[in-house]
Structure 1
Amino acid sequence: MLINSNEQLLVLLDNVLREPQNFWNEFYDQTFKKIPFFVNKPDENLVSYFENKIIQPREVLELGCGPGRNAIYLAKQGCSVVGVDISDKALQWAQKRVDEANVNVDLMCANIFELDLQEESFDFIYDSGCFHHIAPHRRVTYIELVHKLLKPNGYFALCSFEEHGAYGGSAISDEEVYIKRSLAGGLGYTKNQLREIFQSLEAIEIRKMIAMSDEDEYFGLEGFLVGLFKKID
């Protein structure tokens, strides 16, 4: 392929590094496995934003919604929710959960960088586990996507691997990603790195995720960082 645009270069690098759709379909086809992220509970930080009335959104987009545990919680809070994931297996599972919960969630199978959604149409964008699978060359595109789709004064939040976390969080440099042609299972970040990456947004909170037990009604694991940011225009 003769590269003659930045977008063609990005797509080429995507194909070198991105975990393909088949990988995620196989991952989400293992519903019998005791993978922590498979529980049907919302993230503890997401719940805290609502219970503390930090956010009160109506229109919500979840990037990398997986089997829908957070999307369902958001719908139960009265939000109009769009959940996007690249894995149709994950979305089949999510739709089953959505039906069982008797809520409405608009589920879309798509690459987040190929979304065709109206600009500034969401009060809140949430990402639980997608960002740490984004390669360095796509960070700017990711931030541009958030800015494009968020309404003025809207909120963005994420839950991401911390460096050297128990479930992932590679500390390899951006340069090593391309030398090794791998994200090493997912990139880990520090609080300062997240603050720097999302410096175009106002940081409301960046902290460690609170670990929860199997008996708790919310999801939380050690080795993750959570952040809440606001778009200021």
Structure 2
Amino acid sequence: MQRTVRTIDDVMALLDGLFAPEADRWTTRAGDWWDAFYADRSREVPFFVAKPDENLAGHVRRGVITPGRALDIGCGPGRNAIFLARNGFEVDAVDISATAIRWATERSEGLDVRFRHGDAFATEGSYDLVYDSGCFHHLPPHRRIGYLALLDRVLVPGGHFALTCFTAEEGTATPDADLYRQSGLSGGVGYTPDELRWIFQDLTEVELRRMKEEPRDSPAFGKGFLWTALFRRG
């Protein structure tokens, strides 16, 4: 990191440093944290199971989201990306963990998914759907700027952005300024519906609700401590 701030990138790097070692959970230079997280596939982690989020499955089943080009941000082992590909979408899926990408590629069985190890914020192209299940709530506040810039750059007019993230009960409800004072995200940021509406105010809200709790034998993943949101770009 530069000792003297000169550019926006310098500011971002300086602020990133305030969150070490929690920055290990999301920065491209520190994908080792997530590599270790995904290394043991036998662990009882609910979202390791190869089934899609209940909200995403429901949107596709009801025709609210129709096949097109899709970007899966922080795709992990690929469960949502693979579901989209099986339902006619052309999918790009990105994660900072090389271990997760290898696992996702093994699962994909020749489907039309391009898994990429790297920084989702660097993605270029045009997409009808941007999907994020569990990435956004691991971002420190200053990185929301790049997140919104990504949506503005890649989401086509009429396209949809769908999000699954922590509620304020599951994640920390600490105000942004205090996150910098405490130098940590306490495992992830929890949001209220009004906060999500404020952050994504340039998009039109289609739906914002709690995720439905799904039983273990359900074909979809669902936990009630998460928000699900669907927005459309006008």
Give the TM-score normalised by structure 2: 0.93
**Partners in 1 of 2:198 and 2:230 — Cα distance?**
13
Task: Give how far 1:126 is off.
Answer: 0.2
Confirm whether residue 107 of structure 1 aligns to residue 112 of structure 2. no
**Partners in 2 of 1:43 and 1:113 — Cα distance?**
22
Give the TM-score normalised by structure 1: 0.93
1:101-133 per-position Cα deviation (integer Å, ceiling 9, x unaligned):
x41210111122233x12xx1000000000001
- The secondary structure found in structure 2 opposite 1:34 is coil
Task: Give how far 1:23 is off.
Answer: 0.7
Confirm whether residue 7 of structure 1 aligns to residue 12 of structure 2. no
- The answer for the alignment partner of 2:223 in structure 1 is 221
- The secondary structure found in structure 2 opposite 1:83 is strand
Task: Give how far 1:147 is off.
Answer: 1.3
Where do 5+ consecutive residues of structure 2 fail to align? 25-29
Contact 2:164 2:227 in 1 (8 A): yes
Task: Give how far 1:171 is off.
Answer: 1.2
Q: State how many pairs are aligned.
A: 224
- The secondary structure found in structure 2 opposite 1:94 is helix
- The answer for the alignment partner of 2:48 in structure 1 is 38
Confirm whether residue 184 of structure 1 aligns to residue 181 of structure 2. no
- The answer for the alignment partner of 1:87 in structure 2 is 97
**Partners in 2 of 1:176 and 1:36 — Cα distance?**
31
- The answer for the alignment partner of 2:159 in structure 1 is 154
**Partners in 2 of 1:39 and 1:14 — Cα distance?**
31
Which amino acid is the alignment partner of residue 37 of structure 2? Answer: F
Q: Which moved more, 1:65-74 or 1:7-16?
A: 7-16
Which amino acid is the alignment partner of residue 54 of structure 1? Answer: V
1:124 corresponds to which of 126, 129, 132: 129
Which amino acid is the alignment partner of residue 149 of structure 2? Answer: E
2:174 corresponds to which of 172, 175, 198: 172
Provide the alpha-carbon RMSD of the alignment. Answer: 1.1
- The secondary structure found in structure 2 opposite 1:143 is helix
1:45-85 per-position Cα deviation (integer Å, ceiling 9, x unaligned):
00111111111131000000000000000000111000000
**Partners in 1 of 2:16 and 2:211 — Cα distance?**
29
**Partners in 1 of 2:104 and 2:148 — Cα distance?**
26
Task: Give how far 1:12 is off.
Answer: 2.4
C-alpha distance 12-111 of structure 1, shift in aligned 2 (>3 A) = farther
**Partners in 2 of 1:211 and 1:134 — Cα distance?**
25
2:139 corresponds to which of 128, 134, 141: 134
Contact 2:131 2:161 in 1 (8 A): yes
- The secondary structure found in structure 2 opposite 1:216 is coil
**Partners in 2 of 1:113 and 1:69 — Cα distance?**
21
Task: Give how far 1:226 is off.
Answer: 0.4
Which amino acid is the alignment partner of residue 35 of structure 1? Answer: V
Runs of 4+ more than 3 Å apart = none
Task: Give how far 1:191 is off.
Answer: 1.0
- The answer for the alignment partner of 1:203 in structure 2 is 205
**Partners in 2 of 1:15 and 1:89 — Cα distance?**
24
